[in-house]
Amino acid sequence: YASLYFCCAIEDQDNELITLEIIHRYVELLDKYFGSVCELDIIFNFEKAYFILDEFLLGGEVQETSKKNVLKAIEQADLLQEKTETMYHSKSFIGFKKAY
């Protein structure tokens, strides 16, 4: 992955190869969300990276194996955020990516 490095801590009895698949899946999710993800995307949108991770893993376990479902969930949350923001910012709202 274009200069992205991941470090994952697992337990003794965990399957290393499926952990690799988990990392692959996460990168794919980031990729879909940011459109060709690169390091800067993650740096400038670190909270988003967390939110996406939280839709894929929960308490250290995989919660959703459908890429589609994960991305849909993020979309819904972003939509909800957008909705609530329009109540607070009228004209100065540019887009959820730069809401902060």
Footprint (CB under 8 A) of another protein, residues 71-90: 73, 76-77, 80-81, 83-85, 87-90
Which residue stretch of 1-9, 29-37, 46-54 sits at the interface with another protein (rule: CB under 8 A)? 46-54
Q: Which stretch binds another protein (CB under 8 A): 1-9, 29-37, 66-74?
A: 66-74
With beta carbons less than 8 A apart as the criterion, state whether 88 and 100 touch.
no
Helices (H), 13-63: 16-34, 39-44, 46-56
6, 8, 15, 39: residue in contact with another protein (rule CB under 8 A)? 15
- Residues contacting 34, CB < 8 A, separation 6+: 41, 45
